Amino acid sequence: MRLYLLVAATVVSALAGCNATRDPKPATISDADVLMKATGYWEWESSTTRGARLTPASVGFSRQLVFKSDGKVHIYHNRQPELQAVYRLSQEVDACQPPQPQPVAVPMVRYTAEAQFPNSDLRRYGIALAAADTTLYVDGVGLCTDTGAAERYRWRSK
Q: b/e per residue, 115-147, with b = 16+ CB within 10 A?
A: eebbbeebbbbbbbbeeeebbbbbbbbbbbeee
* pLDDT higher than threshold 80 for residue 106: yes
Identify the domain containing residue 95 by its residue range. Answer: 2-157
What per-residue confidence (pLDDT) applies to 8?
36
CB neighbours of residue 148 within 10 Å: 27
What is the domain count for the chain?
Answer: 1
User: Average of pLDDT values for 110-123?
Assistant: 81
What per-residue confidence (pLDDT) applies to 43?
96
* pLDDT higher than threshold 60 for residue 1: no
Nearest-angstrom CA–CA distance, 133 and 18: 13
Q: Terminal CA-to-CA distance of the chain, rounded, Å?
A: 39
Model pTM greater than 0.85? Answer: no
* pLDDT higher than threshold 90 for residue 79: yes
* pLDDT higher than threshold 90 for residue 31: no
Tell me how far the alpha carbon of residue 87 is from its chain's centroid. Answer: 13
